[in-house]
Amino acid sequence: MAERTGNKQLVKGNVALAEGAVQAGCKCYFGYPITPQNAVPEYLSWRLPEVGGTFLQAESEVASINMVLGAALTGARVMTSSSSPGISLMQEGISFLAGDQLPAVIVNMQRCGPGLGGIQPTQGDYFQATRGGGHGDYRTLVLAPANVQELFDFTYLAFDLADKYRNPILVLGDAILGQMKEPAILEPDHPREEPDKSGWTLTGAKDGRPLRNIRSMFLGEGVQEQLNYTLREKYDRMERDEVRYDQRWCDDADCAIIAFGTAARIAISAIHEARDEGIRVGLFRPQTLYPFPFDAIRSLSERVKRLLVLELNTGQMVEDVRAAVGDRAAVGFHGRPAGGLPSVTEVLAKIEEL
Amino acid sequence: MQCEIITAGFGGQGILFTGDLIAQAGLREGKHVTFLPTYGVAMRGGTANCLVKVSDEEIGSPLFNRPNAGIIMNEPSLVKFQSGVAQGGVIIANSTLIDHSIYERGDDVRIFWVPATQTARDVAGTERSANMVALGAFLAVEPIVEVATIEDILRDVSGEHKRALIEKNIAALEAGRDLVAAQAA
Amino acid sequence: MTTKVYERPASLIDKTTHYCGGCGHGTAHKLVAEAIDHFGIRDRTVGVAPAGCSVLMYEYLDVDTAESAHGRALAVATGLKRANPDLIVFTYQGDGDLASIGLCETIHAANRGEKVVVIFINNAVYGMTGGQMAPTTLIGQRTTTTPAGRSVVNEGGPLNMAEMIAPLNGVTYCERVALFDAKHVRKARKAIFKAFEIQLNGGGFAIVEILSACVTNLKMTPLAAQEWVADAMVKQFPLGVFKDETAQGDGDAV
């Protein structure tokens, strides 16, 4: 990641992402309070009106995501945020957004599950996030920030990607990333790209143009099938063009840790300690979880023969890593679910086991 | 240099504010910092603590299990966190509210008993500045950031209407520093 | 000299509907189209049709429309109107959508005074899925999921939505009408016009509950079904204005 220049301020992750949305031209936010992401709606409740936007606390997450859908129909940049149980409630709406081919940004600051779980950090929603999440054959592009700066940058970027693909984009954080503060520059490093949407938005049928209908149900013979192929073609383009990852200390590495988000932060601490002891450990950090960096991990496995996947769960991303690596390298796993955070000591022990 | 600090106490004792101040001062002085608050199950009363890292190098995890410093403002927090403090670490304990008898660590940790709440009452006229007394004491022992930087931030972040409060906080900060200077001498 | 006394509204597409003979949707669609024509708002109107027989509304109404998930029409409408307040937004919902799965959205949208028009088709049964119990099914009414008739003890009684919605703060207008004869169709037309007029004037939530016959699922002839609405349904769901904040004094049914 290139070093950013600008005015650094100590800022909470949830606030950074909310400001990233504002800088991206987000015009509407609909959401329902849930810990640990309440700073997002609290911030946007005053910040959005300040820039002429709309903030509305919805009656539920179910309502939130459908309000998001309504606003997206007009072409307005729109978002919601929640945490795991709330994101589960939104899945039907996310499926509709995908089927309707509507752009929207959804932030999930993960908390423990299953069930009510607790407010501790986790990465238990990896499968839900990367496999569509709701019903039907669709995907959401998933960005995985690992620091407060990336929470700002990726949320900002998410709006461009949503418009580019007319697809819901997920920003997947966790309770630590949302609530921690660290220095970040709350200014974008590139201008935003908002395409002309006048060709598809619902504006009322102006100047005698034919009516438009935005839907996901198509009854004609083969039409629904065709929609799914259209979506697939879009996901193929995402898989070709949008894979993002950060690879560090891998050139001389004897082994590498593959981790995203907060797990990657723990990995970095462990790598520093390992290298102090003369153990050459590298880091591979996916920044998009869908599309997943299969090719980059495959080529990493050609060079580095021992890989450790570190997650805040009992093993989800590791399945994708194993699919990428095959038998080219040994893939170990270490994870702690539901707030039982892996310590640097544990990670070092696992590295030595490899 | 990497310093891992835990601040802990009752909600309302300015625990998070203290950690935030250290992190902000670190940022101003060009260091790498992280600040991670920990709440109870809900954001109501109870105990609060936060983890602060200040480092010359990039910080990986904002978490740590073995802090090298603890600013401990009440008894339940000392009970909970004393065993975690790393060997050679420092504890600032608010002796107004903590009975010495609960302390169980040996000579491997340096503990400074600071009557933070009482001193705050005396020099600032309010218990609410106890966190500043403790912070002043801590920075006298471990000068990871300059007291002057903390004072600058206090002046910058508060409005003119809080001028009196800022000066009380600064008086408390300096009183804490002097208390520990006396103990260390 | 010949005088044209009737023509198809311009906003109603010239095609045969898929609705069953005697179904109220065709008439209700036409009345909405007439209102859109009357106010000249085709170029700024967006309709929302959730799951149900009328999810195909876009086949018949010549305006922009969006499909919504079952129960979520008013959340979608809220998003549309809040994102673009210049739009004229209406929902067209059945009883399952508005009064069962979407009850939460209905109450909250009404309470917030969302500036939208709600066309609520109450036909006391689930049409599209094949005649199951609706929240508005009458006591004793046989459906495919209440074969012995709806009982208060097991299923609870029918929900009277107009009565429930009218007292909420954000509601500007709330009326229940029916389509069982020409006189009542004219009343329904007036109510729908009024609801759109309220939105054009910047007023709040405006809902028209329309009692309509689901001939197929009632397993009656079209005529018998209309009579059943006029007798049995009207007893449970009295017609009238339950709230009209644009009028002086109280509505005539309160």
Closest CA to C46 of A93, A58, A70: A70
At B39, the pLDDT band (50, 70, 90 cuts) reads low
Closest listed residue to residue A172, CA positions, set A292, A294, A47, A327? A292
d(CA A302, CA B152): 53
Run of H or E including A247: strand A245-248
> What total number of domains does chain C contain?
1
**Residue C107 backbone class (left: φ over 0; alpha: ψ -120 to 50; beta: rest):** alpha
- What is the pLDDT, as a whole number, of residue A118? 79
Asked if the model's pLDDT at residue A46 lies above 50, the reply is yes
B43–A35 CB contact, under 8 Å: yes
Q: What is the pLDDT of residue B19?
A: 96
Tell me the domains of chain A and their CATH numbers.
Answer: 8-200+231-241 (3.40.50.970), 246-353 (3.40.50.920)
The subunits that touch chain B, with at least 3 C-beta pairs less than 8 Å apart, are A
Q: Is the CB of C142 inside 8 Å of chain A's CB atoms?
A: no
pLDDT band at C247 (very low <50, low <70, confident <90, very high): confident
Give, rounded to a whole angstrom, the gap between the first and last alpha carbons of chain A.
28
Taking the CA of residue C130 and the nearest CA in chain A, the distance in Å comes to 18
The mean pLDDT of B149-170, rounded to a whole number, is: 85
Residues A36 and A50: their CA atoms lie apart, in Å, by 24
Residue-wise pLDDT for C168-213, tens only, equals 999 999 999 999 999 999 999 999 999 999 999 999 999 999 999 9
Q: List CB contacts of B160: < 8 A, sequence separation 6 or more.
A: none
pLDDT at A220: 83
Mutation choice for B interface testing from A109, A122, A180 by most B CBs within 10 A: A180
Is residue C131 classed as helix, strand or coil in its secondary structure? coil
Q: Which residues are within 8 A (CB) of A165 and not within 5 positions of it... i.e. 6 or more apart?
A: A103, A141, A234, A237, A238
**Chain A partners (3+ C-beta pairs within 8 A):** B, C
Cis peptide before A85 (omega within 30 of 0): no
The Cβ-side half-sphere exposure at B121, using a 13 Å CA radius, reads 4
> What pLDDT digit, counting tens, does each position of A105-134 carry?
999 999 988 888 878 889 999 999 999 999
> Which residues of chain B make contact with A176, given a CB cutoff of 8 A?
36, 62-63
Q: Cα(C197)–Cα(C244) distance, rounded to whole angstroms?
A: 12
Per residue in A234-244, pLDDT (tens digit) is 999 999 999 99
Binary contact (B34, A267; C-beta < 8 A): no
- The CATH number linked to B50 is 3.40.920.10
**Domain containing B154: what range?**
2-184
Region of A326 on the Ramachandran plot (φ > 0 left; ψ -120 to 50 alpha; else beta): left
Q: Which pLDDT band holds residue A61 (cuts at 50, 70, 90)? A: very high
Mean pLDDT of all residues in B41-49: 61
**Chains A, C in contact: 3+ Cβ pairs under 8 A?**
yes
CB contact under 8 Å between B60 and A181, yes or no, is no
| C-beta separation of B130 from B94 below 8 A | yes
Identify the helix (H) or strand (E) that includes residue C25.
helix C25-39
Q: Give the burial string for B62-100 (b: 16+ CB within 10 Å, else e).
A: bbbeebbbbbbbbbbbbeebbeebbeebbbbbbbbbbee
Do C44 and A70 count as a contact with CB atoms less than 8 A apart?
A: no
What's the confidence (pLDDT) of residue A283? 97
Segment C18-68, tens digit of pLDDT = 999 889 999 999 999 999 999 999 999 999 999 888 888 999 999 999 999
What confidence score (pLDDT) does residue C251 get?
Answer: 44
pLDDT score, position B185: 56
What residues pair up with A290 in beta bridges, in sequence order? A142
* Banded model confidence at residue C248, pLDDT cuts 50, 70, 90: low
Interface of A with B (CB under 8 A): 8-10, 35, 118-119, 176, 179-183, 262, 265-272, 341, 343-344
Chains A and B touch (3+ CB pairs under 8 A): yes
Question: Which residue(s) pair with A9 in the sheet?
Answer: A184
Domain residues for the domain of C209 are 25-244
Q: Are the C-beta atoms of residues C251 and C242 closer than 8 Å to each other? A: yes
Site of tokens 């009064």 = C99
Which residues from chain C sit within 8 angstroms of residue A28, using beta carbons? 79, 82-83
Task: Kindly state whether residue C5 falls inside one of the protein's structural domains.
Answer: no
String of DSSP letters for B58-122 = ----S--SS-SEEEE-SHHHHHHHGGGSPTT-EEEEETTTS-GGG----TTSEEEEE-HHHHHHH
User: Taking 80 as the threshold, does the pLDDT of residue B161 lie above it?
Assistant: no
Tell me the chain C residues in contact with residue A205 when contact means C-beta distances shorter than 8 Å.
42-43, 62-64
C-alpha pair distances (Å), A186 with each of A19, A156, A262: 7, 10, 20
Q: With left for phi above 0 and alpha for psi between -120 and 50, is residue B7 left, alpha or beta?
A: beta
Within a domain: C4: no
What number of other Cβ atoms are within 10 A of residue C250's Cβ? Answer: 11
Compute φ and ψ for B180, nearest 5 degrees: -75, -35
Would you call C84 and A74 a contact, using CB atoms and an 8 Å cutoff?
yes
Query: Tens of pLDDT along A163-212?
Result: 999 999 999 999 999 999 999 999 999 999 999 999 999 999 998 899 99
The answer to whether residue A330 scores a pLDDT higher than 90 is yes
C-beta atoms of C64 and A205 within 8 A: yes
Q: Which residues of A touch C48 (CB under 8 A)?
A: 70
DSSP symbol at C143: B
* Residue among A10, A176, A341 minimizing CB distance to B33: A10
Q: Domain for residue C83, yes or no?
A: yes
Given a contact cutoff of 8 angstroms between Cβ atoms, the answer to whether A227 and A218 are in contact is: yes
Q: Which of C9, C73, C19 is nearest to C46 (CA)?
A: C73
Q: Sheet of A168-174: strands edge to edge?
A: A54-57, A28-31, A78-82, A104-110, A168-174, A141-143, A288-290
Distance of CA B169 to CAs A331, A354, B28, B134, B149, Å? 54, 53, 20, 11, 14
Answer with the residue of higher pLDDT: A180 or A218.
A180
Mean pLDDT along residues C120-137: 94
Distance between CA A334 and CA C196 in Å, rounded? 61
**C80–A217 CB contact, under 8 Å:** no
| Stated length of chain C | 254
Q: Mean pLDDT throughout B22-34?
A: 97
Q: Is the peptide bond before A41 cis (omega within 30 degrees of 0)?
A: no
Query: For residue C123, is it within any domain?
Result: yes
Q: Which of A27, A68, A73 is most worth mutating to test chain C (most C CB atoms within 10 A of its CB)?
A: A73
Please judge whether B60 and A272 are an interchain contact, meaning their C-beta atoms are less than 8 angstroms apart. yes
Q: In this structure, what CATH number is given to the domain that contains residue C73?
A: 3.40.50.970
Please report, rounded to a whole number, the percentage of residues in chain C having pLDDT higher than 90: 88
Cβ-nearest to C64 among A67, A100, A203: A203
Give the C-alpha distances (Å, rounded to integers) separating C181 from C25, C34, C184: 14, 18, 5
Q: What is the pLDDT of residue B182?
A: 74
Give percent of chain A with pLDDT exceeding 90: 85
Residue B144 to residue B55: CA distance in whole angstroms: 9
Min distance A22 CA to chain C CA atoms (Å): 15
**pLDDT beyond 50 at B40:** no
Query: What's the mean pLDDT when you consider all of chain C?
Result: 94
Task: Summarize pLDDT for B75-133 with one digit per residue, the tens.
Answer: 999 999 999 999 999 999 999 999 999 999 988 999 999 999 999 999 999 999 999 99
* Chain C residues within 8 A of A68 when measuring between CB atoms: 79
Identify the contact set of chain A against chain C, taking CB-CB distances under 8 A.
Answer: 27-28, 30, 54, 56, 58-60, 62-64, 66-74, 76, 78, 92-93, 96, 100, 202-207, 211-217
Q: Under 8 Å CB-to-CB from C107, ≥6 apart: which residues?
A: C164, C165, C168
* Exposure string for B105-138, b = 16+ CB within 10 A, e = fewer: eeeebbbbbbbbbbbbbebbeebbbbbbbbbbbb
- Chain centroid to Cα A46, Å, comes to 25
Produce one character per residue of C101-131: b if its CB has 16 or more CB atoms within 10 Å, e if not: bbbebbbbbbbbbbbbbbbbbbbbbbbbeeb
**Burial classification of residue A226, based on how many CB atoms lie within 10 Å of its CB (0-12 exposed, 13-18 middle, 19 or more buried):** exposed
Residue B46's pLDDT is what? 64
DSSP string for residues in A189-230: SS-------TTT--S--GGGPPP-EE-S---STTHHHHHHHH
Q: What is the pLDDT of residue B41?
A: 42
> Cα separations (Å) of C7 from A163, C27, C57?
42, 14, 20
Classify burial at C132, counting beta carbons within 10 Å of its beta carbon; exposed 0-12, middle 13-18, buried 19 or more.
middle
Query: pLDDT grade, residue A5 (50/70/90)?
Result: confident
Report the C-alpha gap between A316 and A125 in whole angstroms. 9
Counting runs of H as helices and runs of E as strands, what totals does chain A give? 12, 15
The residue behind tokens 């082994």 is A255
Cβ distance C222 to C21 under 8 Å? yes
**Token duo for residue C86:** 């210049």
The answer to whether residue C33 neighbours chain A at the CB level (below 8 Å) is no
Residues A263 and A196: beta-carbon distance below 8 Å: no
Q: Identify the pLDDT of residue A345.
A: 82
CA distances from A264 to A83, A129, A189 (A): 20, 18, 23
Q: Measure CA C60 to chain center.
A: 16
Mean pLDDT for C125-141 is 94
- By C-alpha distance, the chain B residue nearest A346 is B65
Structure confidence at residue B24 as a pLDDT band (50, 70, 90): very high
Among A31-35, A279-283, B161-165, the range scoring the smallest mean pLDDT is B161-165
CB C60 within 8 Å of CB C14: no
Q: Do A211 and C64 touch (CB under 8 A)?
A: yes
pLDDT band at A2 (very low <50, low <70, confident <90, very high): low
Residue C83 has its nearest CB partner, among A27, A92, A100, at A27
CB-CB neighbors (< 8 A) of A168 in chain C: none
Rounded to two decimals, the pTM is: 0.94
Average confidence (pLDDT) over C8-21: 92
pLDDT exceeds cutoff 50 at B7: yes
Q: What is the identity of the amino acid at A275? A: R
Half-sphere exposure of C82 (CA within 13 A, CB side): 31
Integer Cα distance of C211 and C224 in angstroms: 15
Using a CB-CB cut-off of 8 Å, the residues of chain A touching C78 are 30, 56, 63, 67, 70
Q: Which residues contact C80 (CB under 8 A, 6 or more apart)?
A: A70, A71, A73, A74, A202, C46, C48, C66, C87, C89
β-strand partners of B72: B8, B93
Model confidence at A1, in pLDDT bands (50, 70, 90)?
Answer: very low
State the DSSP string of A102-144. Answer: --EEEEEEE-B-STT-BSS---TTHHHHHT-SSSSS---EEE-
Question: Which residues touch C199 (CB under 8 Å, ≥6 apart)?
Answer: C88, C89, C90, C115, C116, C117, C206
Number of domains in chain B: 1
- Confidence at residue B120, expressed as pLDDT on a 0 to 100 scale: 95
